[in-house]
Amino acid sequence: MKSINLLTNILFILLPFSFSFGQNVTIPIETENVATVLKTNENNRLKIIYFGKSLSNVNEYARTGEVFHFRTGGANSNNNAYAVAGIDNNFIEPAISAVHVDGNNSLDLLYESHTTSQTADGAILTTVTLKDPIYPFFVDLFYKAWKNKDVIEQWSVIRHTEKGDVVLNKYASANLYLNNKDYYLTSYNGDWAKEMQPVETHLRQGMHTIESRLGTREHLLTSPNFMLSLDGKASETSGTVMMGQLAWNGNFALQFETDVFKNLHIVAGINPYQSAYQLKPNTPFETPHFVYTVSFEGKGKGSRNLQSWLRDHTLLDGQGDRLTLLNNWEATYFDFDQDKLVGLFGGAKELGVDMFLLDDGWFANKYPRNDDRAGLGDWEVNRKKLPDGIPFLVREAEKAGVKFGIWIEPEMVNPKSELYEKHPDWVIRQEKRPEIYFRHQLVLDLTNPEVQDYVFGIVDNLFTENPALAFVKWDCNAPVFNGHSKYLEDENIPQSHLYVAYSKGLQNVLERVRAKYPTVPIMLCSGGGGRSDYNLLKYFTEFWLSDNTDPLERVFMQWNYSYYYPAITMCSHVTDWSKDKSLKYRIDVASMGKLGFDIRANELSERDMKFAQQTVRTYNDYKDIVWHGEMYRLASPYENDMASLMYVNGQKTEAVMFNYLTNWRYLAEASLRPIKLQGLDKDKRYRLTEINLYDGTKTPVDPQKVYSGEFLMNVGFNPLVSRNRTSVVIKIESVE
């Protein structure tokens, strides 16, 4: 039956045709396990008739709508493929709202044609064109289905040939309609050092919106990620769950509207807040991608889908290697000079990491960057602190046997800077109103091509001067306040384009950076974890989750991030933020991500240094499993007194299991029961060895004992986590 589908698809590719008015067209969009089905109704309007498990007989998709009987009272029905404002008997939240050149603010979209084709990167792309019957106004709906990942990317392109500009008041990427009836939505609020705090909401009636209006540091208060259990609460291993995000480095709005039938209407896209868009004729507007997966086997499978899709198809160098590092931010803050830094290089080498990363504070002279109140924007090296410049540091690092990386925050400016004095017109600010600062700084106007050149130049100059530079940390500490662009004003472009034009301006710069420097690893950072969207991760190799490096908080935070991101993206550093946790606990937590250190290595005792060195060596042995393997969350810290998770390699021959105590109470029940492992081969036999132990420490884990995969997954293994063993890392290897 699938072959009929293929034949039909080929026909669509070869003969993209439109159906006459009233003809029934069924368009299934399928992955291995998931299908959504679009169908025209008697008025040629496109409806969503199904969202659920894929069927092996594609001919049956046309009938999926028949078995639902929602009586339709006032509204025609709420299952439009792309709900409009203005007509179509539609009272639900629109995906699009437009004002035509003649001032008419209604829209009707009828099915025009569709095509299905295989993309060069291996997905199936379905494009459906809708057209207004009165106005030359079109919307192309895109569905990119990644068969083996069960991931779908949905977006739209809006275009017209009217004689003037059409104003788009709303222009969503995606519109979905789900006929399940018991939805639990997890959204994540946050703040500085409190990123990714999950809250589960039982959606029963009305609208629930996940949104941001911050412009630049857009995830500071809300993450664009969501998890939606569709038929009651899902667990790690059971239940139906949809998970994803809007891949957009700007304001977003994900709207979940539950109707009277308990059906759920989802509209996701750029937040229309202050963003009416004047669309010129013949200049298609492409919206960001709404990315989601559906798992019928719980949250674990859903996150493995997203993690492997991100690694294989979006993240820069997702299959590649990463550099372990020593960062000086928490070790020195702004208080350093050349000698102090060179002194730290030795520590990096001694620890055994690949690179030294110089953080904030290395630049600006007239207004030296000695704290966060001055200097941003003036990217010449501070001659007092670093008289011999960055090239000297790069050479010294090389001599010490480590690579060298550097921090920048190129989109920002302190009012106390030469850049601000010279180019106040380059700054996003309301000239007639008092300036509002966030961390004493303002945002540069990336809608302006000159500013884009300047920002590109910061990166380009650094690499031109230092071809051996191995790494960049790209920070962004302020959101947009008082949004006003002098450039847009001078160009007679409406101010309501600012947010979208900024995000696209940043993307232009990153395109240029990557065209010239395609492979150098760059960390995405935003005052902690203010940026981690899939769109920016096309240009970045990893991201900074939070300035909160308290390892106990990180167990929870990394747990939440792991639903959407693979460990290879998650920069996790050992710091002195919370010294009440042992060095071992701190290293063990950082080791379940991309390991780094942000400590004064020279102050470690000999015993601690020896231990740290040994853990870095061991990490180098198993890091490939953490970075590229499959991840399984085994015991949630939200439901237990401990957290447990593991990574397994593709052949199921090697795995690493991380276990952390999360409750220090005497009554804590961390070690009462075994933890059931996942992802192993039930027929293989495995040896378990405890690693990351100080020399001479006794372990109850006997490496002589061999267990079957079946035993480990059904009965389990007890890492015996307790107040004496607060973190336990186990290496699992199959034996012949």
Identify which range of 208-216, 345-353, 428-436, 521-529 contacts ligand DGJ by CB under 6 A. Answer: 521-529
Counting contacts by CB under 6 A, is residue 108 touching ligand DGJ? Answer: no
Stretch of 127-135, 524-532, 712-720, 726-734 contacting ligand DGJ, by CB under 6 A = 524-532
Task: Kindly tell me which of 147 and 373 has the beta carbon lying closer to ligand DGJ.
Answer: 373
Tell me if 521 contacts ligand DGJ by CB under 6 A.
no
Contact pick of 329, 561, 707, 717 for ligand DGJ (by CB under 6 A): 329
On the 0-12 / 13-18 / 19+ scale of CB atoms within 10 A, 41 is: middle
Decide: is 377 part of the binding site for ligand DGJ (CB under 6 A): no
In this structure, are residues 145 and 128 in contact, taking their beta carbons and an 8 Å threshold?
no
CB of 598 to ligand DGJ, least distance (A): 8
CB of 334 to ligand DGJ, least distance (A): 8
Residue 528 CB, nearest distance to ligand DGJ (Å)?
5
| CB nearer ligand DGJ, residue 218 or residue 475 | 475
404 lines the binding site for ligand DGJ (CB under 6 A): no
Work out how close the CB of 525 gets to ligand DGJ at its nearest, in angstroms, rounded to a whole number.
Answer: 5
Among 112, 162, 359, 641, binds ligand DGJ (CB under 6 A): 359
Q: Which stretch binds ligand DGJ (CB under 6 A): 66-74, 520-528, 534-542, 685-693?
A: 520-528
The residue with its CB nearest to ligand DGJ is 360
Q: What is d(CA 489, CA 491) in angstroms, rounded to the nearest whole number?
A: 5
State the nearest-atom distance from the C-beta of 144 to ligand DGJ, in Å: 33
CA distance 27 to 116: 9
- Position among 140, 259, 445, 475 found at the interface with ligand DGJ (CB under 6 A): 475
Two tokens, residue 609: 């240094």
**How far apart are CB 329 and ligand DGJ at their closest, in Å?**
5
* 158: phi then psi, degrees, rounded to nearest 5: -110, 135
In whole angstroms, what is the distance from residue 400 CA to residue 347 CA?
9
Q: Which is nearer to ligand DGJ, 97 or 332 (CB)?
A: 332
Q: What are phi and psi of 442, to 5 degrees?
A: -130, 170
Question: Is the Cβ of residue 373 or residue 504 nearer to ligand DGJ in the bound state?
Answer: 373
195 lies in the site for ligand DGJ, by CB under 6 A: no
- Binding pattern to ligand DGJ, positions 478-517, x when CB under 6 A? ----------------------------------------
Span 260-319, contacts to ligand DGJ by CB under 6 A: none
Q: Using CA atoms, how far apart are residues 414 and 434, in angstroms rounded to an integer?
A: 15
Residue 597 as a binder of ligand DGJ (CB under 6 A): the answer is: no
- The answer to whether residues 361 and 408 touch, using CB atoms and an 8 Å cutoff, is no
Residue 374 region, left (φ>0) first, then alpha (ψ -120 to 50), else beta?
Answer: beta
Angle at 556 between CA 551 and CA 680, to 5 degrees: 100
Q: What is the DSSP letter of 400?
A: H
- Residue whose CB is less far from ligand DGJ, 544 or 717: 544
Q: Which of 525, 643, 688, 721 binds ligand DGJ (CB under 6 A)?
A: 525
Closest CA to 476 of 439, 448, 505, 424: 439
**What 3-state class would DSSP assign to 725?**
coil
Nearest to 269 by CA among 292, 293, 245, 236: 245
User: For ligand DGJ, which stretch binds (CB under 6 A), given 79-87, 310-318, 411-419, 522-530?
Assistant: 522-530
Say how far apart CA 464 and CA 452 lie, in whole Å: 18
Q: Which of 544, 556, 585, 717 binds ligand DGJ (CB under 6 A)?
A: 544
Q: Which of 241, 245, 107 is nearest to 174 (CA)?
A: 245
Question: Given candidates 527, 551, 637, 679, which one binds ligand DGJ under the rule CB under 6 A?
Answer: 527
Rg (alpha carbons) of the chain, rounded to whole number? 27
547 belongs to the binding site for ligand DGJ (CB under 6 A): yes
Supply φ then ψ for residue 211, to 5 degrees. Answer: -150, 160
345: contact with ligand DGJ by CB under 6 A: no
Give the three-class secondary structure for 494.
coil
Pair 656, 622: CB distance under 8 Å: yes
Round to whole Å and give the CA distance between 509 and 678: 43
Beta bridge pairs of residue 51: 36
CB of 507 to ligand DGJ, least distance (A): 22
| Footprint on this chain of ligand DGJ (rule: CB under 6 A) | 329, 359-360, 407, 475, 477, 525, 527-528, 544, 547
